[in-house]
Amino acid sequence: MSKKEIAQFKKAEKMLADIKQARVNALVKARKGELWIEENTKQYSEANNDFNVIKQDLKVLIKIKKYPFWAHIIAHTKMFLDQPIKYFTHNRKVVKDTIKSYWDYKKILKEWDDDFETTEKYIDRDYEFVNGSEKHIKKIESVVNKWRSYLTKKSKKKSKRGTKVTL
């Protein structure tokens, strides 16, 4: 048995170990991605609910703007008479803050949607790698086992002649 054959055999064994390690790493990464999605789904749904509330508030504000002019005069007069200081300080900011919150939530939800899609894409890719590597691992294992039995038989023949060979 030559040193070249032994080197090739050890190289094949190392390649098999590397593929198995890459498979395990892919499984770990996929599971971590699944756990990240599970952890962040609750926060995402809370933000989505807040976004829907703000969207409804904006719809109400838009609907109010479509009322006739005399309805606005009556409503503003009533608000001014009930709380004059709050009428000038608070009411002017409500629409601006609502619109700003709407766009902030929309941006956050878009980023989370992109993060979830990217994570799911990588999870699918990792599982595809795991499934594809399974048949390659079996194929390489069978070749390595055949090679091992061949080298063992060859080393037994040489050991009968007095030369010891170790794998």
Q: Which domains does the chain have, with CATH numbers?
A: 3-161 (1.10.287)
Per-residue pLDDT tens, the chain, 167 aa: give them: 577 777 877 888 888 889 889 999 999 999 999 999 999 999 999 999 999 998 998 888 777 778 788 777 877 787 777 877 776 777 677 778 888 999 999 999 999 999 999 999 999 999 999 888 888 888 888 888 887 787 777 777 766 655 555 55
pLDDT of residue 84: 75
Helix (H) or strand (E) holding 56: helix 3-65
d(CA 3, CA 6): 5
The answer to whether the predicted template modeling score (pTM) of the entire model surpasses 0.75 is no
